Chain A
């Protein structure tokens, strides 16, 4: 049922995808049942449907065409400020943030004002589940575009980083507390605000297993930017931010659980230290142990087979019956890809060979971005990621396309670099080649352009060098030919030649005598 509350957009459908994804679905599935929920802003209809199974759900949507696509729940179609406090909810969910709640018919509301309106529709003790985009998040830092120059139809007030959204987790918590919404739980969200695949709490980013978390952050951003133009490789930025201790500040978004007035007991939406999902769709949480260790536990939809047997097309259906099946220590150590790059950049050839050999011995089918190395131990970061038979070749492309320094600077042909790496890894045969994805970002593109210019200049200079060499050799050859002719010619030729020499000598004498 659609209720027009005023200020709706009859001709406009949202241009960008709504909030959604497996991880958010997992969180929402675990909400208490039987409660009244307001879902504010664009959310995936599957997400809304799942929520509505055992809860009373109302949606707030500004776009009339989009409102019509939401089945079986009450939809309030209109702009945020038309929301009255006549209806109060146990929970308000705004996983798309507050940026797509106001229509052009409304007085534009800033972030704090929007939150205030949402808070008003909460019952005392009610919970706000809110995503706050970080205007200086990794996703912004690698984006060639900027919201302040957005060309989309809803960019009628594109403030971007000039807006008033809090810029740090602690400031966000303070701002919400000032609105009477103390924060019960907060997590950084990666790789994109509306569809996170990794949630990590700031406390975990402060004291947790940083190397593994950096690896998870890199693994999270990798698929999110595949095929998209970026300024620089987002995997490196995300991983270094986490490893260097600024992960919470540079996360693309923060997911916050705030409650209107405190109430005793744990948060309605508990957030584990870290929660992630990979290409398999399984959801894994990372939890601490009393002895300061870390465990990973699959909590949703586990696909055990790394590589399905030929003909095995059985789909592994995610389901609650498979929860808690796998609990194991979170592997320690750092991402193999980063260790390889560090060794390559440091020209530490012995270490690079050890890493390549260890990798190709222990986990030859795993991508360098899915392996953690701790001393001599190699472990999969996400065991559910499918095999990658061209993993070594892909790493060769990473080196070349990323413009990384490495110990074989003269080798610029991918096939030859793959052969070198295979040799360095102790392989007898050269593995299959991989399709090149091209430079990951514009910075790398620029570096590649510079390198190509240098190679062209070198090649031209080398041409001139060889031309001079060739001239010298031709002159030598000419002299040798004359000598050969002189010594191998017939008697007549030699006599004529001797005569010529004598004649030349006589002429020279006469000339000398004249002068």
Chain B
């Protein structure tokens, strides 16, 4: 259906979980939530075909979606959690080290305003192990920005999430999971999807530093997130509490069996 279902190879992960060809996921009968958000599960600006199902990550999101006039929201849990649960962790215990740091990014159409230098200073002052900076692809490709971060640590990019089903990196999440499992901490200057993924993958989370606002950003939403999840903010939040919150937001305990998921997504006949 919507091309956003293929972002980060989400549809591919679910097809693989359902025992179908992960390289050619069938059409999903609705919209997949493709990132953590505090609205109805749809990405900002996603045109919504009326009467379509939104497959959201958590029950809380479903309730919120309903309150926002989206009665067809259906909880399936985050595709990342399906991947996490079905991918054995071959990182030896104790081999995790350092911090994977996700500087807050916009997407292709947005530009972040803020001082990268000042942010990096704060990060290096806070983190005591090696730092891996994971940049969004457009920042990664910007040599100037990349060079700034390369001076402070290793710089990586998980890949391109794809657009209009073109250049989709179907292994995006798999690569991200492997990278997360190498680190002891996951951090960002904003509470965002990567923090949720990292915490679920066993990292201790941290959210600190200049939040770097986007052009024309809805700042009340950013402030609401900070107010609503204080347990996830700071340089060293309590890992156990954080993990509990994170797993609930990703739909832990709500994941469907392959057979149920196939029928739910409209793949029963595929």
Q: Which of A445-504 contact B (CB under 8 A)?
A: 454-455, 457-459, 461-462, 465-466, 469
Q: Please state if B50 and A465 are interface contacts (CB–CB under 8 Å).
A: yes
Q: Please state if B47 and A465 are interface contacts (CB–CB under 8 Å).
A: yes
Q: Please state if B262 and A423 are interface contacts (CB–CB under 8 Å).
A: yes
Bound complex: CA A87 to CA B73 (Å): 73
Is B107 among interface residues, defined by CB-CB distance under 8 A?
no
Shortest B85–chain A CB gap in Å is 15
Contacting residue for B75 out of A347, A423, A424, A455, CB 8 A: A347
Is B62 among interface residues, defined by CB-CB distance under 8 A?
yes
Q: Please state if B71 and A427 are interface contacts (CB–CB under 8 Å).
A: no
Is A422 among interface residues, defined by CB-CB distance under 8 A?
yes
Shortest B264–chain A CB gap in Å is 6
Q: Nearest chain-A residue to B54 (Cβ)? A: A410
Bound complex: CA A347 to CA B65 (Å): 14
Known: A424-B257, A426-B257. A411 touches B75 (CB 8 A): no
Is B45 among interface residues, defined by CB-CB distance under 8 A?
no
Is B52 among interface residues, defined by CB-CB distance under 8 A?
yes
Is B74 among interface residues, defined by CB-CB distance under 8 A?
yes
Q: Which of A175-229 contact B (CB under 8 A)?
A: none
Is B51 among interface residues, defined by CB-CB distance under 8 A?
yes
Q: Nearest chain-A residue to B257 (Cβ)? A: A423
Q: Please state if B263 and A419 are interface contacts (CB–CB under 8 Å).
A: yes
Chain A residues with CB under 8 A of B53: 409-410
Chain A residues with CB under 8 A of B260: 353, 420, 423-424
Known: A408-B74, A426-B257. A420 touches B51 (CB 8 A): no
By size class, the interface of chain A is 20 to 34
Contacting residue for B59 out of A347, A408, A454, CB 8 A: A347
Shortest B30–chain A CB gap in Å is 6
Is B29 among interface residues, defined by CB-CB distance under 8 A?
yes
Bound complex: CA A424 to CA B51 (Å): 24
Contacting residue for B51 out of A407, A408, A426, A459, CB 8 A: A459
Contact with B along A377-410 (1 / 0, CB 8 A): 0000000000000000000000000000001111
Known: A419-B263, A428-B259. A462 touches B52 (CB 8 A): yes
Bound complex: CA A427 to CA B50 (Å): 32
Q: Considering residues B73, B253, B259, which has the most beta carbons from chain A within 10 angstroms of its beta carbon?
A: B259
Known: A420-B264, A462-B51. A409 touches B256 (CB 8 A): no
Is B254 among interface residues, defined by CB-CB distance under 8 A?
yes
Known: A347-B59, A409-B53. A419 touches B75 (CB 8 A): no
Shortest B205–chain A CB gap in Å is 25
Bound complex: CA A462 to CA B53 (Å): 12
Q: Nearest chain-A residue to B30 (Cβ)? A: A410
Q: Nearest chain-B residue to A466 (Cβ)? A: B49
Q: Please state if B74 and A407 are interface contacts (CB–CB under 8 Å).
A: yes
Chain A residues with CB under 8 A of B257: 423-424, 426
Chain B residues with CB under 8 A of A454: 51
Is B72 among interface residues, defined by CB-CB distance under 8 A?
yes
Chain A residues with CB under 8 A of B155: none
Contact with A along B89-111 (1 / 0, CB 8 A): 00000000000000000000000
Is A164 among interface residues, defined by CB-CB distance under 8 A?
no
Known: A419-B268, A465-B49. A410 touches B259 (CB 8 A): no
Q: Please state if B262 and A410 are interface contacts (CB–CB under 8 Å).
A: no
Is A265 among interface residues, defined by CB-CB distance under 8 A?
no
Q: Please state if B72 and A410 are interface contacts (CB–CB under 8 Å).
A: yes
Contact with B along A409-436 (1 / 0, CB 8 A): 1110000100110111011101000000
Chain B residues with CB under 8 A of A416: 263, 266, 268
Chain A residues with CB under 8 A of B30: 410
Q: Nearest chain-A residue to B47 (Cβ)? A: A465
Chain A residues with CB under 8 A of B75: 347, 349, 407
Contacting residue for A458 out of B50, B256, B258, CB 8 A: B50
Q: Nearest chain-B residue to A356 (Cβ)? A: B260
Q: Please state if B51 and A423 are interface contacts (CB–CB under 8 Å).
A: no
Is A266 among interface residues, defined by CB-CB distance under 8 A?
no
Shortest A332–chain B CB gap in Å is 27
Bound complex: CA A419 to CA B270 (Å): 13
Is B235 among interface residues, defined by CB-CB distance under 8 A?
no
Known: A347-B59, A410-B30, A416-B266. A423 touches B71 (CB 8 A): no
List 19 extra interface pairs beyond A419-B259, A458-B50, A458-B51, CB under 8 A: A347-B63, A349-B75, A353-B260, A407-B75, A409-B71, A409-B72, A410-B30, A410-B52, A419-B262, A419-B268, A422-B263, A423-B264, A424-B256, A424-B257, A428-B259, A461-B50, A461-B51, A465-B47, A465-B49
Q: Which residues of A line the B interface, CB within 8 A?
A: 347, 349-350, 353, 407-411, 416, 419-420, 422-424, 426-428, 430, 454-455, 457-459, 461-462, 465-466, 469
Q: Which residues of B line the A interface, CB within 8 A?
A: 29-30, 47, 49-53, 59, 62-63, 71-75, 253-254, 256-264, 266, 268
| 25 CB-based A-B contacts, threshold 8 Å | A347-B59, A347-B62, A347-B63, A349-B59, A350-B253, A350-B254, A408-B74, A409-B72, A409-B74, A411-B264, A419-B263, A420-B263, A420-B264, A423-B256, A423-B260, A423-B262, A423-B263, A424-B257, A426-B257, A428-B259, A454-B51, A457-B50, A461-B50, A461-B51, A462-B51
